[in-house]
Chains A and B, each alone.
Chain A
Amino acid sequence: AQTVTQSQPEMSVQEAETVTLSCTYDTSESDYYLFWYKQPPSRQMILVIRQEAYKQQNATENRFSVNFQKAAKSFSLKISDSQLGDAAMYFCAYLIKAAGNKLTFGGGTRVLVKP
Chain B
Amino acid sequence: KAGVTQTPRYLIKTRGQQVTLSCSPISGHRSVSWYQQTPGQGLQFLFEYFSETQRNKGNFPGRFSGRQFSNSRSEMNVSTLELGDSALYLCASSLDPNSGNTIYFGEGSWLTVV
Contact = CB atoms under 8 A, between A and B. Distances in A.
Given A42-B107, A44-B108, A91 B43 contact: yes
Contact of B98 (A44, A45, A98): A98
Contacts of B43: 91, 93, 103, 105, 108
Nearest to A106: B42
Contacts of B35: 103
Nearest to B3: A44
A106 B41 CA distance: 10
A45 B37 CA distance: 11
Interface in A9-52: 33, 35, 37, 42-47, 50, 52
Contacts of A37: 105
A105 B88 contact: no
Contacts of A91: 43
Interface in A82-97: 91, 93, 95, 97
A100 B106 CA distance: 19
B103 A103 contact: yes
Interface of B is mostly: strand
Interface residues of B, number: 27
Contact of B56 (A43, A45, A47, A100): A100
B100 A43 contact: no
B108 A43 contact: yes
Contacts of B98: 97-98, 100
Given A102-B33, A107-B42, A43 B88 contact: yes
A33 B44 CA distance: 18
Contacts of B106: 44
Nearest to B32: A101
Contact of A44 (B31, B58, B94, B107): B107
A74 interface: no
26 contacts: A33-B100, A43-B37, A43-B107, A43-B108, A44-B106, A44-B107, A45-B105, A47-B103, A47-B104, A50-B102, A93-B43, A95-B100, A95-B103, A97-B98, A99-B56, A100-B31, A100-B48, A100-B56, A100-B97, A101-B31, A101-B33, A101-B97, A102-B58, A103-B35, A103-B103, A105-B44
